[in-house]
Chains A and B, each alone.
Chain A
Amino acid sequence: MGKLLKNRELLLVGAILVLIALIAWRFPPFITPANLARVYNDTSILIILALGQMAVILTRCIDLSMAANLALSGMVAAMLNAAFPGLPIPIIILSAMALGAILGMINGALVWKLDIPPIVVTLGTLTIYRGLIFLLTNGKWINAHQMSDAFKSFPRTDLAGIPVLSWLSVVMVVTIFLVMSRTPLGRAFFAVGGNPHAAVYTGIDVGRTRFFAYCLSGTLAGLSGYLWVSRYAVAYVDIAAGFELDIIAACVIGGITIAGGIGSVPGAVLGALFLGVIKNALPVINISPFAQMAISGMVIIIAVAVNARAERRKGRVILRKAEAV
């Protein structure tokens, strides 16, 4: 099992390296360290979001509302900054994360306390959260000139040659990795997804674990909300529309099984990086950016087919003949 997991991530590393090599063959400057660092920086937000989605998917749930949560938290962060330009950035970040966490808690509470299927809950909150942005702003945009310089420059600030945005994603990756592998909560995520009934008998509250997974995904979406808005220096109703599918795609490519219980932090990071490399490479090798959507669609299908084949060898098939039909 552990060997298989390692294989999958190695496979993904290999795929990314092949991809980068192919791009470098068409456009050598792509592999300069400065450019690769830029690609990583550009993918940072997706990585942070994929970590949250991973926790949710591990518990056999799904969070379709992450992008809407990001947009709402980002908008509130921008509005805070526009209203009180003197407010220190850490407070803005913390309030965006807190709002994100609350929105995640709403999802989690509906799944936990009312036992509503996660896909229905987050489908509903997806439209509600995005609608709330409209109610909050009446459809108005918050543009660059309304934001303070500190607000916009924070993710760009250089720290040892690398922007704060990249550092933040690294910190998040390490933190979530430690949570997943070193804390009871992290193990509970896997246990709940692997076998919810067995988890109950080992003393894990399935609903509560799912609730915490949603809190985590919400908090990370809130953080990403601030990062997104300050990076692109604009906030409006439709920012990151449809991005929820990119997040899920990153997880699926990273080998996180939609049926729960299987996945890893490196997988999520690599899945996000794979999409990030494709997105950044298309313009430089003269493929129309319009092709990006079709390519990521193909990649998702191939990734899920490859992952499913890897899982099938795991066994647990009692009636092989019947399953084969």
Chain B
Amino acid sequence: MAETHLSPRIIPDRLEGRRARLLKSWESLLLVVACVIFLGNSLASPYFLDPWNLSDATFNFTEKAMIAFAMALVIISGEIDLSVASIIALASTAMGYAVQLGFDTPALVVVGLSVGLLCGIVNGLLITGLGLPSIVVTIGTMSLFRGLSFIILGDQAFTGYPDSFSWFGQGYVWWVFSFEFTLFVVLAVIYGVVLHRTNFGRAVFAIGNNQTAALFSGIRVGRVKFTLFLLTGLMAGLASICLTSRLGSTRPSIALGWELEVVTMVVLGGVSILGGSGTIPGVVLAALIMGMVTFGFGLLNVPGIVMSIFIGLLLISVIALPILWRRARRRLAH
């Protein structure tokens, strides 16, 4: 949106080496921040450094992070999807409805994933098929999807999920490693490989940097973007399964406001909101930071809304500080 940089860009004579670049990267800064928060938390509360407590802490971010991976790709490609939280609500409502019809766990998973996928298709068709701006379309579908769950549920709630369904949100794969955390790690690896090691990932970066140029170099821009919205829908469906299973009930207000937290996570992870740059390791670190801050504050009895102030400040300062730093350095150089 703000793209009026009129200052000349200086290209250095010699590019820095791999190690220097890694040291100066956004991810190393995030890593330092994560370590500081981890240390601060363990000093502030004696209950923090307990494997089971830490394992509980992961539930703060795993579901949001699943969506954040797909959202990172969407934002890198220069689009945005604000409807993810509403997709969670609709998928959860559909699963609750399926329970009333007597469906069992495997069928519920299929319902959750396919509703997510369907919502992704709707977004993708409107954005790539009709060429509409994604921010407005997904504000619309955000209302539409959650509105549908409000129509179905009203002020009621669906409960009575089968016992076997609770494993997704409450089960453990091995020792303290929950199913959700394992899924988070596996998805992080998959998305990392897809974004940084495949043609598809290169295409996403190319589209985000210059859509027209990407088109002329033979990238099927529409198809790639459609796939990204489809993926985001699918991830929201997956997150919906985990969240519904963890809570054991569905209300239409489930996951309210998560879209902002997911976007915050992605931007905090160093993904440019203007598109074209970002990494999955950055998003992973941002997820860890947000999860630890929330959990640490929780242990200190800080109310949730104060945490959200902190997250808001973190979001703005984390973007403002490098800009101020660069400006100060430029002033010193002159």
Interface residues of A (CB under 8 A from B): 60-62, 110-111, 114-121, 123-128, 130-132, 134-135, 139, 196-197, 200, 206-207, 210, 237, 245, 248-249, 252, 258-259, 288, 290-298, 300-301, 304-305, 308, 312, 322, 325
Q: A117-B1, A118-B1, A200-B6 are in contact. Are A301 and B309 (CB under 8 A)?
A: no
B274 to chain A, nearest CB (A): 6
Cα distance A208–B312 when bound, in Å? Answer: 24
Number of A-B residue pairs, CB cutoff 8 Å, is 164
Tell me whether A127 and B312 are in contact in the complex, defined as CB-CB below 8 angstroms, given that A114-B323, A120-B273 are known contacts.
Answer: yes
> What separation, in Å, do the CA atoms of A135 and B307 have in the docked complex?
11
Chain B residues in the interface with A (C-beta under 8 A): 1-6, 80, 126, 130-133, 135-137, 139-148, 150-151, 153-155, 212, 215-216, 220-222, 252, 260, 263-264, 267, 273-274, 303, 305-306, 308-309, 311-313, 315-316, 319-320, 323-324
By a CB distance below 8 angstroms, the chain A residues around B220 are 325
Closest to B321 in A: A114
Nearest-CB distance from B304 to chain A (Å)?
9
Docked pose: A61 CA to B1 CA in angstroms? 7
Point out the residues of chain B lying under 8 angstroms from A207, CB to CB.
4
Say whether A304 contacts B140, CB under 8 Å.
yes
CB-based contact B148/A248 at 8 Å: no
- A241–B55 Cα distance when bound, in Å, is 32
Is the CB–CB distance between A127 and B309 below 8 Å?
A: yes
If A115-B2, A288-B151, A291-B147 touch, whether A135 touches B140 (CB-CB below 8 Å) is no
A249 touches B139 (CB 8 A): yes
User: Which of A114, A305, A322 contacts B212, CB < 8 Å?
Assistant: A322
Given A135-B306, A206-B4, A237-B305, do A325 and B221 touch, yes or no (CB 8 Å)? yes
- Evaluate contact between B154 and A197: CB separation under 8 angstroms: no
Chain B min CB distance to A309 (Å):
9
CB closest chain-B residue, reference A245 = B139
B149 smallest CB distance to A (angstroms): 9
Q: Would you give the shortest CB distance from B74 to chain A, in whole angstroms? A: 14
Whether A291 contacts B151 by the Cβ 8 Å rule is yes
Contacts of B155 in A (CB 8 A): 290
B260 touches A294 (CB 8 A): no
